[in-house]
Amino acid sequence: MQLQIDVNSVKSTIFLELLNLFKKDNMINDYKVIDDGKTAYDDEVLNDLSMIGDSLRDAKNGLGHRTSTIVTIEDV
């Protein structure tokens, strides 16, 4: 599985240490730091991901929010 996360640059050292700990404990296979250049599609996906909590709460209350973005997670 692949996951991309945008991390605050001030707190990135703490996050990298956490990733190293996960790697040592064999919870993750590997990770890499990539360039932070974003496209319009990246912005749309990040916006959709930021709304997951609200969407789950709305769904629990019988409401919902539809977007045109489909995220496919493939085993790599």
Cα separation of 70 and 76, whole Å?
18
pLDDT digits (tens, 9 = 90+) for 49-69: 888 888 778 877 877 656 777
What does pTM read for this prediction? 0.37
Question: Is the model more confident about 9 or about 46?
Answer: 46
Under a CB-based contact definition with an 8 Å cutoff, are residues 64 and 55 in contact? yes
Q: Which residues contact 49 (CB under 8 A, 6 or more apart)?
A: none
